[in-house]
Amino acid sequence: MDDDALTIIDERTESSYDVPLLDGGALRAMDLRKIKTRSEDFGLMSYDPAFMNTASCRSAITFIDGDKGILRYRGYPIEELAEKCGFLEVAYLILFGELPTAQELDAWVRDITRHTMLHETTKKFLEGFSLQAHPMGMFISTVAALSTIYPDARNVLNPESRQLQVRRLIGKVPTIAAYTYRHSLGYPYVYPDNELSYSANFMNMLWRMVEPRYQANPVIARALDVLFILHADHEQNCSTNTMRAVGSSQADPFVCTAAAAAALSGPLHGGANEQVLKMLDEIGSKDRVPAYVDKVKAGHGKLMGFGHRVYKNYDPRARIIKQTADSVFKITGGNPKLEIALELERVALEDEYFVSRKLYPNVDFYSGIIYQAMGIPTEMFTVMFAIPRTVGWLAQWQEMIEDPEQKIARPRQIYVGHGKREFVSIEKRSSHAVAA
Ligand code: ACO
């Protein structure tokens, strides 16, 4: 039999179907529809809650081998990109498919920095939030609000318009992120300084006070660049899937990015970095690690920053983040939480529960410890994730729009509710205590 096809025998009807295999390993779910017991049947569907084994697209952006712990953007290993590139260089690679020449990179950096300013009304919009508002809630809403400032962004089928919105979003997300931070503190917003690199300018917008020009520490700026590179894309994760799903209705990229950021904010996804720090605080000291691990094994909570749908090996990003932590701690002084985190990793990786389930530290396990050492508050951690991930979301959104096979994303369901029922008038209904 052909390696590129599968023969399915339906024992109910004794019919046989040849089903082609896509790219050597996937069958098209629509081919299952041919499998019927009677001609008027709907045909077979696949059932896959949480997309455990369903590819929703063919993508050329990011490759992950979760068993081997491999991550590549456009074919380049993450380790090399993190060591040798700047963030905007990697952003260019992710978006356009190739590493830029020096000239292309200059033009690209110029393009992005042209778009770092926010419309003044956006500041007023942010002022409406309470000082206690979570920065991620402010970030999501403000990104969505940009859609009202750039109505031309609705022109999603126009490649030039798409390019403009991509530049706007990548330029503006650090400014929005920094403004949410300044807002929480009641500090005045700091305008972007376009002479600085992407990361150094972000530091400027976070931390400049009365000095005429912000001097970014180059080690911290480089560490931020590395963290941004590591977070830039991760194929079809929950937030990227959201970006594609919302984008498939041809909504504009600002609201799509806001929706993706909303998906990122959950504690099982990008919100995990915030939860890791809360967990380390709760553990409190190294000697209390074994008791905490026992509690998790007994079913009380999860080890935040551990486990991954795709990685069943050490997350390569976690390894690079650990190395980056050393350079940051030389400048900032250590973070006592690191000791607890290292002990937690050691205990978990020797424990049968975590070993048998292939649960390893993921990207979120160490990132928060570095951010905290830099002076970034815990509530900002997921916003720090959203800044670089905007690049991945936009690249995936573009790929989706340009893919002739993609249509509005609309899954099927298996209906398990009532069959047709007789209507009951209100005076004859009995209470089922469904509503409070
Ligand atoms: N701590 C303890 N046990 C865990 C953990 C964890 N962090 N993660 C998974 N498990 C257990 C599950 O309870 C399950 O055990 P069982 O087989 O006895 O039922 C088994 O490992 C398999 O886990 P699933 O929940 O089926 O794995 P899934 O792929 O659905 O979930 C997820 C992946 C959501 C990341 C999960 O590992 C988790 O909740 N981790 C903690 C949150 C976290 O760190 N999220 C960030 C992920 S990285 C990112 O999104 C940027």
Quick one: average pLDDT of 270-275?
A: 94
Question: What is the enclosing helix (H) or strand (E) of 202?
Answer: helix 198-207
pLDDT band of residue 2 (cuts 50, 70, 90) is low
User: What is the DSSP code (8-state) at residue 55?
Assistant: -
Q: Whose CA is nearest to atom 14 of ligand 1?
A: 357
Classify the phi-psi angles of 13: left when phi > 0, otherwise alpha if psi is within -120 to 50, otherwise beta. Answer: alpha
Within 13 Å and on the Cβ side, how many CA atoms surround 386?
37
How far, in Å, CA of 177 to CA of 143, rounded? 10
Q: Which two tokens stand for residue 169?
A: 């979003």
- Looking at residue 432, its pLDDT comes to 78
- Looking at residue 182, its pLDDT comes to 97
Handedness of CA 223, 63, 106, 143 (dihedral sign): negative
The catalytic position among 31, 269, 287, 418 is 269
Per-residue pLDDT of 242-258, as tens digits, reads: 999 999 999 999 999 99
Report the 10 Å Cβ neighbour count for 155. Answer: 15
- Looking at residue 336, its pLDDT comes to 85
Per-residue pLDDT of 208-243, as tens digits, reads: 999 999 999 999 999 999 999 999 999 999 999 999
Instruction: Kindly give, in sequence order, each residue whose CB lies less than 8 Å from that of residue 378, ignoring residues fewer than 6 positions away.
Output: 274, 277, 278, 368, 372
Quick one: average pLDDT of 126-149?
A: 97
Buried/exposed 38-63: b ≥16 CB within 10 Å, e otherwise: eeeeeebeeeeeeeeeeebbebebbb
Residue 269 among the catalytic residues: yes
Distance 275 CA to ligand 1 centre (A): 14
What residue spans define the domains of the chain? 5-47, 78-404
pLDDT at 170 over 60: yes
For residue 62, the cross-strand partners are 73
Question: What is the enclosing helix (H) or strand (E) of 142?
Answer: helix 135-149
Quick one: average pLDDT of 296-309?
A: 94
Residue 364 among the catalytic residues: yes
Quick one: average pLDDT of 405-434?
A: 94
Mean pLDDT of the chain: 95
How far, in Å, CA of 70 to CA of 305, rounded? 18
Handedness of CA 351, 345, 76, 399 (dihedral sign): positive
Handedness of CA 174, 175, 180, 186 (dihedral sign): positive
Distance 288 CA to ligand 1 centre (A): 22
Question: 175 burial class (0-12, 13-18, 19+ CB within 10 angstroms)?
Answer: buried
Per-residue pLDDT of 84-131, as tens digits, reads: 999 999 999 999 999 999 999 999 999 999 999 999 999 999 999 999
3-state SS assignment for residue 11: coil
Distance 315 CA to ligand 1 centre (A): 14
Quick one: average pLDDT of 385-410?
A: 98
- Looking at residue 434, its pLDDT comes to 66
pLDDT greater at residue 290 or residue 323: 290
pLDDT greater at residue 175 or residue 1: 175
Percent pLDDT > 90 in the chain is 92
Question: Of the candidates 184, 94, 100, which has an alpha carbon nearest to the alpha carbon of residue 135?
Answer: 184
Output the pTM of the full model. 0.95
- Looking at residue 436, its pLDDT comes to 55
Q: Which CATH architecture has domain 78-404?
A: Orthogonal Bundle (1.10)
Give ligand 1 pocket residues (Cβ under 6 A): 237, 268-270, 272, 296, 302-309, 357, 359, 362-364
